[in-house]
């Protein structure tokens, strides 16, 4: 796939990047090299390779969901300026 300067200008515009003319030339060459490398990778025979989502076999790495800090409403509301039962009381802001 041939990449032109206009293509790079369009991508820069979409990304809201202001590039100097020498930056456009440099990026055009660099992006063209990247695309050529990707074309080389596309030529490889991957029919015998099984797709995977992780490079390392993983099982469920999440911990058990256990409550370790039981809330104490009295301690939580101890410094509240106003409270109603076990709730913070705030001024009404909607008429």
pLDDT value, residue 33:
94
pLDDT at 49: 86
| pLDDT at site 20 | 95
State residue 69's pLDDT score.
84
* Pairwise CA distance, residues 32 & 29, whole Å: 5
Give the DSSP per-residue string, 14-27: HTT----HHHHHHH
Model pTM score: 0.49
Res 1: pLDDT: 66
Residue 32 contacts residue 3 (beta carbons within 8 Å): yes
* Dist. CA 74–CA 68, nearest whole Å: 18
pLDDT averaged over 10-residue windows placed end to end, the chain, 95 residues = 89 94 94 92 87 76 84 90 91 86
Which residue segments constitute the domains of the chain, with CATH numbers given?
Answer: 5-42 (1.10.20)
């Amino acid at each position: 796939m041939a990449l032109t300067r206009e293509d790079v200008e369009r991508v820069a515009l979409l990304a809201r990047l202001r590039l100097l003319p020498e930056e456009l030339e440099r990026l055009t060459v660099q992006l063209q090299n990247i695309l050529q490398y990707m074309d080389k990778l596309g030529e490889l025979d991957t029919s015998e390779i099984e797709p995977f989502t992780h490079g390392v076999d993983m099982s469920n790495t999440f911990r058990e969901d256990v409550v370790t800090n039981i809330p104490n409403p009295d301690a939580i509301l101890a410094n509240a300026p106003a409270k109603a039962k076990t709730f913070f009381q705030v001024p009404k802001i909607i008429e």
